[in-house]
Amino acid sequence: MMFWSDSHWVFWQVALMWVAMVAFWGLIIWAVWALVGSTTQKPRDDQRGGDARRILDQRLARGEIDAEEYGRLRDLIEHHDRAPIDTGANR
């Protein structure tokens, strides 16, 4: 075959093979990193009180609590959501 130039490797062929190998392993490493990152991702700060508010709304709809208790608990949840998260770095 004329492509192989008398069975000697041409520099660009070797370079292309190395670039393809680095790209392949980079893609594999990125895929594993993305998979692990997405499965261990913690909820963002603005999503912390979403479940609590939803449960509180359901309790009001079922009649388990009255409007006054609902307002008090809703204020408590909103205050908790605005409070900074303690990372324990000041210890």
User: Would you write out the chain's pLDDT as a tens digit for each of its 91 residues?
Assistant: 456 556 677 888 889 999 999 999 999 999 999 999 888 877 665 555 578 888 999 999 999 999 999 999 999 888 776 666 555 555 4
- Distance, in Å, from the CA atom of 68 to the CA atom of 54, rounded to the nearest integer, reads 17
| 3-class DSSP state of 55 | helix
pLDDT at 11: 87
pLDDT at 66: 92
pLDDT at 23: 98
Q: Residue 85: what residue type?
A: I
77 and 59 Cβ atoms separated by less than 8 Å: no
